[in-house]
Amino acid sequence: MELHDVWFVLIAVLWTGYFFLEGFDFGVGVLTRLLARDRAEKRVLINTIGPVWDGNEVWLLTAGGATFAAFPEWYATLFSGFYLPLLAILICLIVRGVAFEYRAKRPEENWQRNWETAIFWTSLVPAFLWGVAFGNIVRGVKLDADFEYVGTLGDLLNPYALLGGLVTLTLFTLHGTVFTALKTVGEIRERARKLALKVGLAAAVLALVFLLWTQVESGDGTSLVASGVAVASLVAALGANQAGREGWAFTLSGVTIVAAVAMLFLTLFPNVMPSTLDPAWSLTVTNASSSPYTLKIMTWLAVLATPLVLLYQGWTYWVFRKRIGTQHIADPVH
Amino acid sequence: MDLALAPETLARWQFGITTVYHFLFVPLTISLAALVAGLQTAWVRTEKEKYLRATKFWGKLFLINIAMGVVTGIVQEFQFGMNWSDYSRFVGDVFGAPLAFEALIAFFFESTFIGLWIFGWDRLPKKIHLACIWMVSIGTLLSAYFILAANSWMQHPVGYRMNGEKGRAELTDFWLVLTQNTTLNQVFHSFSAAFLTGGAFMVGIAAFHLMRRKHIPVMRTSLRLGLVTLAVGGLFTAISGDTLGKVMYEQQPMKMAAAEALWDGEEPAPFSVFAYGDVDEGHNKVALEIPGLLSFLAHSDFESYVPGINDTNEALQEKFGPGDYKPIVPVAYWGFRWMIGFGMASFSLGLLGLWLTRKKFLLPAAYRTGEDEVPHLVLLKRPLGSRLTRLYWLAAVWTMAFPLIANAWGWIFTEMGRQPWVVYGVMRTEDAVSPNVSQAEVITSMSVFTLLYAVLAVIEVRLLVKYVKAGPPELSDSDLNPPTKIGGDVHDADKPMAFSY
Q: Which of these, B66, B61, B50, lies nearest to B466 by C-alpha position?
A: B61
The beta-carbon neighbor of A101 closest among B67, B83, B487 is B67
ipTM > 0.85 (yes/no) = yes
Helix (H) or strand (E) holding B160: strand B160-163
Angle subtended at Cα B295 by Cα B291 and Cα B296, rounded to the nearest 5 degrees: 95
A265-273 average pLDDT score: 93
Is any Cβ of chain B less than 8 angstroms from the Cβ of A100? yes
Q: How far is A210 from chain B (nearest CA, A)?
A: 28
Question: Alpha-carbon distance B484 to B128, whole Å?
Answer: 10
Is any Cβ of chain B less than 8 angstroms from the Cβ of A294? yes
Is any Cβ of chain A less than 8 angstroms from the Cβ of B70? yes
Question: Exposed, middle or buried by CB within 10 Å (0-12, 13-18, 19+), for B369?
Answer: middle
Question: Alpha-carbon distance A60 to A16, whole Å?
Answer: 10
Q: Work out the pLDDT band at B415, boundaries 50, 70, 90.
A: very high
Contacts of B212 (CB under 8 A, 6+ apart): none
Contact yes or no for B31/B198 (Cβ under 8 A): yes
Q: How far is CA B203 from CA A54, A292, B351, B463, in A?
A: 30, 50, 12, 19
Contacts of B94 in chain A (CB under 8 A): 294
Q: How far is B80 from chain A (nearest CA, A)?
A: 8
Is any Cβ of chain A less than 8 angstroms from the Cβ of B56? no
Question: Alpha-carbon distance A10 to A227, whole Å?
Answer: 20
Contact yes or no for A211/A231 (Cβ under 8 A): yes
SS3 B284: strand
The beta-carbon neighbor of B85 closest among A43, A76, A319 is A76
SS3 A212: helix
Contacts of B55 (CB under 8 A, 6+ apart): B36, B39, B40, B43
Share of chain A above pLDDT 70, in %: 99
Q: Which of these, A325, A290, A241, A225, lies nearest to A10 by C-alpha position?
A: A290
* A80:B496 CB<8 A: no
Q: Which residue of A has its CA nearest to B472?
A: A334
Q: Which of these, B423, B436, B428, B430, lies nearest to B95 by C-alpha position?
A: B423
Question: Exposed, middle or buried by CB within 10 Å (0-12, 13-18, 19+), for B68?
Answer: buried
Q: Which of these, B177, B145, B144, B142, lies nearest to B161 by C-alpha position?
A: B177
* B463:A65 CB<8 A: no
Q: Work out the pLDDT band at A331, boundaries 50, 70, 90.
A: low
| pLDDT at residue number B342 | 97
Contacts of A209 (CB under 8 A, 6+ apart): A163
Q: Is the dihedral of CA B358, B360, B362, B365 positive or negative?
A: positive
Give contacts of A 127-146 with B, CB under 8 A: 146
Share of chain B above pLDDT 70, in %: 99
SS3 B433: coil
Contacts of A187 (CB under 8 A, 6+ apart): none
| pLDDT at residue number A281 | 95
Residue of higher predicted confidence among B94 and B487: B94
Is any Cβ of chain A less than 8 angstroms from the Cβ of B434? yes
Q: Which of these, B411, B423, B416, B419, lies nearest to B92 by C-alpha position?
A: B423
Q: Which of these, B407, B467, B449, B426, lies nearest to B233 by C-alpha position?
A: B407
Buried b or exposed e, range B203-215, using 16+ CB within 10 angstroms: bbbbbbbbbeeeb
Question: Alpha-carbon distance A36 to A140, whole Å?
Answer: 39
Tell me which range, B187-191, B367-371, B493-497, is most confidently predicted by mean pLDDT: B187-191
| pLDDT at residue number B241 | 95
Q: Work out the pLDDT band at A334, boundaries 50, 70, 90.
A: very low
| pLDDT at residue number A74 | 96
Residue B198 pLDDT > 80: yes
Residue A329 pLDDT > 60: yes
Q: How far is CA B363 from CA B216, B222, B379, in A?
A: 21, 21, 9
B156-174 average pLDDT score: 94
A272-276, A285-289, B382-386, range with the lowest pLDDT: B382-386
DSSP symbols for B314-364: HHHHHHH-SS-----HHHHHHHHHHHHHHHHHHHHHHHHHHHHT-SSTT--
Whole-structure pTM value: 0.94
* A51:B120 CB<8 A: yes
pLDDT per residue as tens digits for the range A137-193: 999 999 999 999 999 999 999 999 999 999 999 999 999 999 999 999 999 999 999
Residue A256 pLDDT > 50: yes
Residue B2 pLDDT > 70: no
Share of chain A above pLDDT 90, in %: 92
- Delimit the domains of chain A by residue range: 3-328
Question: Alpha-carbon distance B139 to B211, whole Å?
Answer: 35
Residue B244 pLDDT > 60: yes
Question: Alpha-carbon distance B361 to B204, whole Å?
Answer: 24
Q: Work out the pLDDT band at B487, boundaries 50, 70, 90.
A: confident
Q: Which residue of B has its CA nearest to A90?
A: B75
Residue B158 pLDDT > 90: yes
Q: Which of these, B501, B450, B418, lies nearest to B21 by C-alpha position?
A: B450
Which one of B8, B61, B101, B108 makes the best mutation probe of the A interface by having the most chain A beta carbons within 10 Å?
Answer: B108
> φ, ψ for residue B292 (rounded to 5)?
80, -15
Is any Cβ of chain A less than 8 angstroms from the Cβ of B364? no
Contact yes or no for B284/B261 (Cβ under 8 A): yes
Residues shown for chain B? 501
pLDDT per residue as tens digits for the range A46-80: 999 999 999 999 999 999 999 999 999 999 999 99
Question: Exposed, middle or buried by CB within 10 Å (0-12, 13-18, 19+), for B283?
Answer: middle
Residue B285 pLDDT > 90: no
* B93:A105 CB<8 A: no
| pLDDT at residue number B304 | 85
Running DSSP on this structure, what letter comes out for residue A150? -
Q: Work out the pLDDT band at B294, boundaries 50, 70, 90.
A: confident
Contact yes or no for A79/B85 (Cβ under 8 A): yes
Question: Alpha-carbon distance B138 to B147, whole Å?
Answer: 14
CB neighbours (10 Å) of residue B487? 14
| pLDDT at residue number B120 | 93
Mean residue pLDDT of chain A comes to: 94
B212-226, B295-309, B395-409, range with the lowest pLDDT: B295-309
Is any Cβ of chain A less than 8 angstroms from the Cβ of B448? yes
Question: Alpha-carbon distance B413 to B259, whole Å?
Answer: 8
Angle subtended at Cα B23 by Cα B183 and Cα B65, rounded to the nearest 5 degrees: 125
Question: Alpha-carbon distance B306 to B249, whole Å?
Answer: 9
* A293:B172 CB<8 A: yes
* A73:B89 CB<8 A: yes
Contacts of A3 in chain B (CB under 8 A): none
* A329:B67 CB<8 A: no
pLDDT per residue as tens digits for the range A186-231: 999 999 999 999 999 999 999 999 999 998 888 788 889 999 999 9
Buried b or exposed e, range B191-202, using 16+ CB within 10 angstroms: bbbbbbbbbbbb
Q: Which of these, A204, A230, A176, lies nearest to A22 by C-alpha position?
A: A176
* B78:A62 CB<8 A: no
Is any Cβ of chain A less than 8 angstroms from the Cβ of B172? yes
| pLDDT at residue number B143 | 96
Contacts of A260 (CB under 8 A, 6+ apart): A167, A171, A207, A211, A226, A227, A230
Contact yes or no for B35/B229 (Cβ under 8 A): yes
| pLDDT at residue number B284 | 81
The beta-carbon neighbor of B88 closest among A72, A298, A312 is A72
Share of chain B above pLDDT 90, in %: 78
Q: What residues pair up with B275 in beta bridges, in sequence order? A: B287
Question: Alpha-carbon distance B332 to B260, whole Å?
Answer: 8
Residue B492 pLDDT > 90: no
Residue A17 pLDDT > 90: yes
> φ, ψ for residue B409 (rounded to 5)?
-70, -30
3-state SS string for A251-307: HHHHHHHHHHHHHHHHHHCCEEECECCCHHHCEECCCCCCCHHHHHHHHHHHHHHHH
| pLDDT at residue number B290 | 86
Mean residue pLDDT of chain B comes to: 93
Q: Which residue of B has its CA nearest to A111?
A: B459
Question: Alpha-carbon distance B198 to B206, whole Å?
Answer: 12
